[in-house]
Amino acid sequence: MTLKTILAGSALVVALIPAAQAQSASNADVLGIMKSSFKERGIAKLDRLDQNDLQKQCSEYATQPMPAPMKAALEKAALDAVKYPADGNFLGDWKQGERIAQSGVGLQFSDNDKTVNGGNCYACHQISKEEISYGNIGPTLYQYGKLRGNTVEIQRYTWARIWNAHAFNACNIMPRFGAAGILSEEQIRHVMALLLDPTSPVNR
């Protein structure tokens, strides 16, 4: 779980503050508490606690339904900001994509700025039939391409989901792999191939 995900659950943090303080605690108060609880170490900086506009809105509505027009506007803005491959080539090498999906390294205090980030997809999704241990926070991706096909529309949809899943569900917890710079365009192509190439373990 990322620090930004933790901050999105600020209502829980407020619940841990003594009652007298909790009544007057604002998001700024919670942010101050969070920042005082973490120390910068290596490449892990406190700016990870700074929220963008979407995250701020999701924190505001962490304990109540977000108004539908606001949710739709946030999702549209996220979708409009997706950067698709300029050359129109969405697919790379599924074998490299599988390595990226299995890798959980990167963006941690023990890494450095030359560490190649992984996607850690198996932490939340089933990817292949052979995998016996995987997360279930997200839906299974087994036979993703076999069930959906490999049309241009499916490629664009899948790319957008990986780039910024908030475009389809404003306050979900899936990392913004492209928008947040977690994975490069080339890495996303490889993950796309893992999901859509008929010869990958996902679709066999």
pLDDT means per 10 residues in the chain (204 residues)?
Answer: 44 44 62 86 88 91 95 97 96 98 92 93 93 91 97 98 97 95 97 97 94
Question: 97: helix, coil or strand?
Answer: helix
Question: What's the topology of domain 94-196?
Answer: Cytochrome Bc1 Complex; Chain D, domain 2 (1.10.760)
What is the full DSSP assignment across 42-67?
Answer: TTB-GGGG---HHHHHHHHTTTSPPP
The answer to whether 112 and 100 are in contact (CB under 8 A) is no
pLDDT at residue number 25? 60
C-beta atoms surrounding 201 within 10 Å: 16
pLDDT at residue number 132? 85
pLDDT at residue number 30? 79
What does the domain layout of the chain look like in residue ranges? 3-64, 94-196
Measured at the CA of 157, the angle between CA 76 and CA 73, to 5 degrees, comes to: 10
Question: Is pTM, for the whole model, over 0.85?
Answer: no
pLDDT in tens, 31-74: 788 888 888 999 889 888 888 899 999 999 999 999 999 999 99
